[in-house]
């Protein structure tokens, strides 16, 4: 007689060997981190921001460079009666080379301003990265909820199919009523309708997540959806301090404030003149066989800030107003971030309490109630509608548990975005 024992032992050994030598399965967090990394690598908006940084990096050296020197060629003192270069001793062919030099310190300040633009572009990229990470996590968690809901609904469908079979059997032998059969069939139909809706929603969420990673919307996705509650132990004060130190949009505004201060210093420098230094060389031709020496001249010119009351002074005031405006914008956005943090902390606390209540209280109670109803129904002490109602209640609370758990994880992703750094 053929024995299955050796075959079973072989399969067990094969499974153990695959666990030892094969790659371990990807965890829920590893799955999520892989999607986040792909989004950061392929997101076209991030690539555009990176190119923007490269663009601004080309400006500081330009801002700190002198203007190009100028060269001028002239005919000087040519008589109009003959247009000859040998009739008059002052007739010359003159070459002028000059260079403009800004007042000391101006070029350095312009370079510093351009460097602040690089900082602003870099912080803008970091802000966009945070948005991409938040969007991927929120989309991923929502898709996990849909997948978990599909599994729960499919399990509920199998149980409802058994209920329909039981109700039909009892009705066929005269121990049940037709109303029980119809009620069970209605609940089963509602369950099937919910599965269709969830499958459609699954396709939408997969397309959204694929788009965030710059994939085709219909590209296949491998998802691990074992969401668990992430521990949270941060205070408002701690998160506010972290946000002020790390949130890129606040760093961006600080850089803009610094740029405005530099621009104000540069505006004050505009009260001082710039210099233009040059050299002239005049070439003279021979006059009546007499050799005439060539001429060399040098000059320094300066601009005179004569209209400083309507120009330089106004520029200084303009930069003062710009500094005050940017500081006000910084305070406004910081306060908005702090407010949003408080709102999300309140959402996190309520979601965590509700997840714990449903998981440890309501679901076990609903399961016990269903088991009791099933035992009572088997001995005709509980009617079929009570049994069905208990099953529907348990199903609804299982979905509710995953809904709140997903909401909790989404809230944490939004808190990370508000703070500006990875917390979990």
Summarize pLDDT for 94-151 with one digit per residue, the tens.
999 999 999 999 999 999 999 999 999 999 999 999 999 999 999 999 999 999 999 9
Q: What is the mean pLDDT of residues 297-306?
A: 92
Residue keyed to tokens 């040059």: 278
CA dihedral 142, 144, 148, 149 (to 10 degrees): 20
Q: Given this model, what pLDDT does residue 1 score?
A: 38
Residues 296 and 152 in one domain: no
Note whether 125 and 183 are same-domain residues: yes
Query: What confidence score (pLDDT) does residue 377 get?
Result: 78
pLDDT band at residue 235 using 50, 70 and 90 as cut-offs: very high
**Least confidently predicted of 207-211, 256-260, 303-307:** 303-307
Which of 306, 323, 351 is the C-terminal boundary of a domain?
Answer: 306
Integer Cα distance of 245 and 237 in angstroms? 12
* DSSP string of 163-209, one letter each residue: HHHHHHHHHHTTSS-HHHHHHHHHHHHHHHHHHHHHHHHHHHHHHHH
Question: Domain containing 281: what range?
Answer: 71-101+274-306
Same domain, 128 and 263: yes
pLDDT at 288: 63
DSSP state at residue 25? P
Q: Which two tokens stand for residue 26?
A: 């990807």
In this prediction, residue 20 carries a pLDDT of: 38
Quick one: average pLDDT of 315-334?
A: 95
Q: Does a structural domain hold residue 225?
A: yes
- Overall domain count for the chain: 2
- Between CA 286 and CA 298 the distance in angstroms is 24
Give the relative orientation of helices 363-378 and 384-419 as an angle to the nearest 10 degrees: 170
Residue 384: its pLDDT value, please?
81
Q: Is residue 7 part of a domain?
A: no
Q: Let me know whether 327 and 339 are in one domain.
A: yes
Contact (CB, 8 A) for 415 and 423: yes
Q: Which two tokens stand for residue 100?
A: 């403009």
Q: Which two tokens stand for residue 152?
A: 């729960």
> Are 257 and 376 in a shared domain?
yes
Let me know: does 371 contact 391? Beta carbons within 8 Å.
no
Residue 285 has pLDDT above 50, yes or no: yes
Is 16 a member of any domain? no
- Give yes or no: residues 97 and 226 share one domain: no
pTM, whole model, 2 decimals?
A: 0.82
Among 306, 323, 356, identify where a domain stops.
306
Residue 21 lies in a domain: no
pLDDT at 10: 37
């Amino acid at each position: 007689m053929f024995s299955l024992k050796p075959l079973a032992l072989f399969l067990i050994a094969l499974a153990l060997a695959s666990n030892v030598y094969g790659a371990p399965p990807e965890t829920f967090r590893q799955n999520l981190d892989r999607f986040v990394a792909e989004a950061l690598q392929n997101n076209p908006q991030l690539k555009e921001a990176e190119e923007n940084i490269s663009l601004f990096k080309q400006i500081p050296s330009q801002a700190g460079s002198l203007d190009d020197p100028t060269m001028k060629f002239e005919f000087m003192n040519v008589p109009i009666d003959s247009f000859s270069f040998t009739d008059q001793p002052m007739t010359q062919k003159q070459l002028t080379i000059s260079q403009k030099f800004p007042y000391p310190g101006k070029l350095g300040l312009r370079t510093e301003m351009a460097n602040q633009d690089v900082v602003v572009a870099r912080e803008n990229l970091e802000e966009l990265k945070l948005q991409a990470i938040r969007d991927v996590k929120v989309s991923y968690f929502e898709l996990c909820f849909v997948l978990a809901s599909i599994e729960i609904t499919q399990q509920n469908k199998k149980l409802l199919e058994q209920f329909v079979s039981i109700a039909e059997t009892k009705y066929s032998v005269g121990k049940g009523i037709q109303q029980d059969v119809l009620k069970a069939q209605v609940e089963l139909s509602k369950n099937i309708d919910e599965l269709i809706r969830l499958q459609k929603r699954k396709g939408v969420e997969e397309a959204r997540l694929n788009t965030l990673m710059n994939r085709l919307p219909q590209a296949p996705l491998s998802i691990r959806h074992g969401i668990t509650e992430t521990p949270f132990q941060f205070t408002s004060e701690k998160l506010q301090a972290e946000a002020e130190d790390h949130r890129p949009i606040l760093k961006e505004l600080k850089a803009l404030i610094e740029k405005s201060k530099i621009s104000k210093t540069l505006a004050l420098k505009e009260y001082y003149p710039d210099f233009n230094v040059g050299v002239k060389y005049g070439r003279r031709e021979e006059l009546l066989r007499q050799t005439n020496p060539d001429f060399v001249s040098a000059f320094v010119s300066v601009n005179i800030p004569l209209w400083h009351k309507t120009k330089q002074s106004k520029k200084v005031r303009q930069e003062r107003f710009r500094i005050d405006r940017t500081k006000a914008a910084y305070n406004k956005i910081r306060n908005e971030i702090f407010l949003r943090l408080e709102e999300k902390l309140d959402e996190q606390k309520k979601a965590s309490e509700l997840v714990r209540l449903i998981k440890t209280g309501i679901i076990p109670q609903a399961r016990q109630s269903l088991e009791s109803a099933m035992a009572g129904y088997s001995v005709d002490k509980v009617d079929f509608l009570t049994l069905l109602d208990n099953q529907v209640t348990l199903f609804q609370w299982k979905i509710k548990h995953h809904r709140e758990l997903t909401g909790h994880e989404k809230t944490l992703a939004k808190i990370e975005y508000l703070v500006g750094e990875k917390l979990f």
